[in-house]
Amino acid sequence: MNNIHCKFCELKSTAAKELNDCELEVLGENCAEVKFKPGDIIVKQDSFSTNVAYIKNGLVKIHIKGPIKEMIMRIVKAPAYLCLPSTFGDKTNHFSATALENTTVCFIDFDTFKNLIYANGDFAYQIMIDLSRGQLQSFHSCISNAQKHSIGKVADALLFFSEDIYQSSSFVLPVSRQDLGDMTGTTRESVSRILTDFHNEKLIELDGKKVSIKNPELLKQISLKG
């Protein structure tokens, strides 16, 4: 098995940039790189979480099986750490992660990762920042999910893909309508209807999964008003 050479990795995390050559060497010796295709399950809910997972490139959805139905907690774009809450928080994974695009993941040995946190404060600090941002995002999506109307939540989702994921007003949705429903806490039917409404109102251009946002201002209004 080939060693991974983290030192020369172009896709290091902000945290990993704080590591010195020696530490990177240790990291490389204790991690495995795996490639996933769209639809592949990267981590499965309830399985043992023995590794830290770092998404080097690609796009991943994080979803939890709820009492009634599936819920998509977040869509994560590389580069990002994936399983810190699961790895540090409990023995098992509290959520599943599924690849939406071709995705490369580095699985890092937990003890190695832990040692880096003990040894390198700058590294640990960057991880803290990462986790805190995730926490803040969760708060925001929680309140938006609880208080907005479906139309606002769908507008949110479109703006999220446009601004946060693709940085473009035109993009191809990486998820199905069902997924969009699971993301926004509505149903696939509602998503379907709202999307065609947006299209008819000339807010967006819609062709299957191809979306082009024509009136971002109004879409933001809808997102804000809920």
Partner DNA sequence: GCATTAACCACAG
Partner DNA sequence: CTGTGGTTAATGC
Among 103, 126, 186, 223, binds DNA (CB under 7 A): 186
Residue 192 found at the interface with DNA (CB under 7 A):
yes
Residue 116 CB: number of other CB atoms within 10 A?
Answer: 23
DSSP-derived pairing of the beta strands 80-81 and 204-207: unpaired
Of 143, 160, 159, 147, which is closest to residue 198 (Cα–Cα)?
159
Smallest distance from the beta carbon of 186 to DNA, in angstroms?
A: 4
User: Could you tell me if 55 and 105 are in contact, meaning their C-beta atoms sit under 8 angstroms apart?
Assistant: yes
User: Could you tell me if 210 and 172 are in contact, meaning their C-beta atoms sit under 8 angstroms apart?
Assistant: yes
**Judged by CB under 7 A, which stretch of 92-100, 160-168, 193-201, 212-220 contacts DNA?**
193-201
Among 209, 210, 221, 225, binds DNA (CB under 7 A): 209
Q: Which is nearer to DNA, 16 or 154 (CB)?
A: 154
Size of the site for DNA (CB under 7 A): 18
Smallest distance from the beta carbon of 36 to DNA, in angstroms?
A: 18
Enter the DSSP assignment of 3. Answer: P
Total count of residues recorded for the chain: 226
Residues in 100-159 at the binding interface with DNA, rule: CB under 7 A: 149-151
Smallest distance from the beta carbon of 69 to DNA, in angstroms?
A: 8
Q: Taking the mean position of all CA atoms in its chain, how far away is CA 120?
A: 26
Contacting residues toward DNA, per CB under 7 A: 149-151, 176-178, 185-190, 192-193, 195-196, 208-209
